[in-house]
Amino acid sequence: METFAINSTEQYLLMAAGILLAVQIIYYLVLYSRIGRRNRKEQRNELHFTQELPPLSVIICAHDEVENLRRNLPAILAQDYPDFEVIVINDGEKNESEDYLLQLEEQYRNLYHSFVPDSSRYISRKKLAVTLGIRASRHDWLVLTEANCQPQSNQWLRLMARNFTPHTGVVLGYSGYERGKSWLHRCTAFDSLFTAMRYLGFALGGHPYMGIGRNLAYRKQLFYDQKGFSAHLNLRRGDDDLFVNQVANGNNTRVETAPEAAVRMQPVYRSKDWREEKIGYASTARQYKGLQRWLAGFETFSRLLFYAAWIAMTVWGILHFHWLVAGIGVLLFLIRFIVQALVINSTAKSLNEQYRYRLTLPLIDILQPLQSLCWKLFYLFRDKREFLRK
């Protein structure tokens, strides 16, 4: 009978691990599963979309990216959509990009381009580029993406536009990475997928709090009503996530997660580039309004505590030859692992992601919050002037 006896310390560990497991499962089944559930509803024709296809403007900001433009711009210009224009705002090197864009403009009459003046000093160059593109656009609906992004089908614009109802002001889309070969590629792809499961999950639940400018649409009038990026002119970033945080709500925001509406980027080949991108987002995330930021942080915190609890139970049981306690610790881990793997991989499949996460999932799962902590620490100890307009 001593095998089944549990002392007070073991009871506390068991209670803590059980509560944390319940919290984690609730997050996965209620929040993180929303993309997959949404796509399954679409397959059953349970979702409602508008049949109108209003004219729209695609705005692309490019910074010394002629090779990305050569690779991705033709796929955007070849979209199966009745009336759209593409506006490329070039920042930085102009010779090669200018020549290539002029060449394409002879072939596509709906392509236009301009550039960011070299003398710009009073607004971040990215925000100025977006603002110039918006001011040059002829249509009310704006679809924003980046030069390193390629739509996954020629139906991208149609699928985004089916959400342009009279009450809609913002449409959030999915962006991910193409498949790579290294561990860095797998980690960045998981981070992109998990971030989307989080912010698109909140938006699908009626509580949007951020967006990513690689696949984002909103009305021009909404931009003007908010006086553009005036609320965050002092920051280099914030042209996407902070703007959406400012204007989006449960009544004016829709989400498009069909795999044919996704855009993908080439894999990240230098960890430094990914690190700088994540530090940049850490610099703006501190200014998000709403409870969603704290709820997301609570999930991360409960995840780390859960790992600590089940490992403590297992080690305690082994050291005290109490195999029941050790077994319960392992069982709790397996329950969470199974739920997590099912939700993440079913979501990845519904988005046509090429990665699946099984044996590597626990390692990536524990590394992600630790990396996020590193990004925040990097931001705290960096010169804050690096994140202000230049």
Listing DSSP states for 143-205 in one string gives EEEETTEEESSTTHHHHHHTT--TT--EEEE-EEE---SSHHHHHHHHHHHHHHHHHHHHHHT
Q: Is the pLDDT of residue 117 over 70?
A: yes
Pairing type for strands 170-173 and 216-219 reads antiparallel
pLDDT given for residue 10 in this prediction? 78
Q: pTM value? A: 0.92
pLDDT digits 0-9 by tens, 259-307: 999 999 998 888 888 888 888 888 888 888 989 999 999 999 999 999 9
Q: Is the pLDDT of residue 92 over 80?
A: no
Give mean pLDDT, residues 209-234.
90
Specify the higher pLDDT residue, 287 or 76. Answer: 76
Token reading at 111 = 């392509």
Which of 310, 208, 294, 300 is CA-nearest to residue 250?
208
Lowest mean pLDDT among 81-95, 301-315, 329-343: 81-95
Give mean pLDDT, residues 148-176.
96
Q: What are the residues whose beta carbons fall under 8 Å from the beta carbon of 390, sequence distance 6 or more?
A: 121, 124, 125, 236
Per-position b or e across 258-268, b if 16+ CB within 10 A of its CB: bbebbbbbbbb
Q: Residue 156 burial (CB < 10 Å; 0-12/13-18/19+)?
A: buried
* Three-state secondary structure call for residue 328: helix
How far is it, in rounded angstroms, from Cα 137 to Cα 184?
38
pLDDT digits 0-9 by tens, 176-193: 999 888 999 999 999 999
Secondary element (H or E) of residue 221: helix 220-225
Query: What is the CATH number assigned to the segment(s) 37-289?
Result: 3.90.550.10
Domain boundaries of the chain, sorted by first residue: 2-32+293-378, 37-289
The percentage of residues in the chain with a pLDDT greater than 90, rounded to a whole number, is 65
How far is it, in rounded angstroms, from Cα 270 to Cα 372?
17
Identify residue 138 by its one-letter amino acid code: R
Specify the higher pLDDT residue, 269 or 385. Answer: 269
pLDDT given for residue 128 in this prediction? 87
Specify the higher pLDDT residue, 55 or 3. Answer: 55
pLDDT digits 0-9 by tens, 95-106: 688 889 999 999
DSSP states of 364-388:
HHHHHHHHHHHHHHHHHHS-GGGGB
